[in-house]
């Protein structure tokens, strides 16, 4: 089931909900019961593509961004 993001235009609260694709644009009930209105927003995420080949090189440590340290 896809994860969708919703934003309250009144106070800027953002929530995430697992919903079926057919429910994506359906009205969202306020999870805190405060009567707020939430609208679906475009979700953004980062995906890193791999090379698709196995390697015996050590994984790049978290000290750099995507192999910039030269260890991979």
Question: Cβ–Cβ contacts within 10 Å for residue 9, how many?
Answer: 11
Q: Is residue 30 part of a domain?
A: yes
How many independent structural domains does the chain possess?
A: 1
CA distances from 7 to 4, 12, 25, 44, 57 (A): 10, 6, 12, 14, 42
What was the pLDDT predicted at 52?
Answer: 57
Does pTM surpass 0.75? no
Contact predicate 3/14, CB 8 Å: no
What was the pLDDT predicted at 11?
Answer: 94
19-48 core/surface letters (b: 16 or more CB in 10 A; e: else): beeeeeeeebeeeeeeebebeeeeeeeeee
Which domain range does residue 32 map to? 3-41
Query: Is pLDDT larger for residue 31 or for residue 72?
Result: 31
Q: Is residue 68 part of a domain?
A: no
The answer to whether residue 15 scores a pLDDT higher than 80 is: yes
Q: Is residue 55 part of a domain?
A: no
Q: Is residue 26 part of a domain?
A: yes
């Amino acid at each position: 089931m896809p994860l969708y993001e919703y934003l309250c235009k009144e106070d800027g609260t953002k929530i995430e909900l697992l919903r079926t694709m057919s429910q994506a644009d359906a009205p969202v009930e306020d999870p805190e019961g405060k009567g707020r209105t939430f609208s679906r927003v475009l979700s953004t995420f980062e995906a890193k593509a791999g090379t698709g080949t196995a390697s015996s090189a050590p994984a790049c440590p978290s000290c750099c961004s995507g192999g910039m340290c030269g260890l991979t």
